[in-house]
Amino acid sequence: MARTLTFTPLAVACGVASPTPPNTPSSRLPSSEAWKELRISWDYSPCPIGGQSCHQTLEVSFEGGFVAAERNPDGSAEPVRRFSALESQEVRELHRVVTSGFVEKLGSFRCAAASGATVRIEVDSASGETRKEEVAGCVSSTSPETAPPRALVEMLEHHRWSSHDAKPQHPKPPSGQGDPCTVSEGCGTGLICVASPCVVAPCESGSCQTTTP
């Protein structure tokens, strides 16, 4: 059963009515919620050296608010938690991965067994059902069939630390038409970053547009 998550007075329950992060206008969110909250957990055996955490959990609401938690190796204390929110572009990309189809298929990606770490995804659907799967084998695979869980973990894994956001190991350019972009960063496959007019050239900021009429 999914745990009820309580925020400080600046936020509310992550899986129930988390406020839309200030940099994520509600108009940019899908009109129909396929899910309410997702959780990704990383468990390491044996524990990493240097006293690092053996268990990390990232809980993300549909609107993009998240809580990163790490538990001490001996498990004797309450986990250390950090409350934050995804950037607006991350929210857009998240909803492109975690669709109703993803939620329905979770549990049947048939990820191969993996050693060293267990990576588990749980999603609370809009209907109240919780679907889950251990996906460490999918994360290390290059098979197209396992791309959705791999993309989700790679997108969010740098947020799992309770003290800070790490540098993304798998950065991806914006993948949707109309997404904000910079010319130097570019856009995803089939898109090009078209710079908006500016006062001083060269103009850098713009939006992703299709490369064909």
| 10-residue stretch averages of pLDDT, the chain, 213 residues long | 41 38 42 85 76 84 96 73 96 96 94 85 94 94 92 96 90 94 94 94 94 71
Planar angle of CA 153, 180, 166, nearest 5 degrees: 35
SS3 186: coil
Cα 51 from Cα 11, distance rounded (Å): 31
**Coil/strand/helix, residue 97:** helix
Separation CA 182–CA 123 (nearest Å): 33
CA 17, CA 7: separation in Å to the nearest integer?
A: 11
Structural domains in the chain plus CATH codes: 26-172 (3.30.1560), 174-213 (no CATH)
Reading across the β-sheet that carries 80-85, which strands appear in turn?
80-85, 65-71, 55-61, 35-44, 117-125, 130-134
Give bridge partners of residue 69 from the DSSP assignment.
Answer: 57, 81
Residue 174 is predicted with a pLDDT of: 96
Residue with tokens 């975690």: 98
Q: Is 57 helix (H, G, I), strand (E, B) or coil?
A: strand
- Spatial separation of the C-alpha atoms in residues 56 and 12, rounded to whole Å: 22
CB contact at 8 A, 133 and 153: no
pTM across the whole model: 0.78
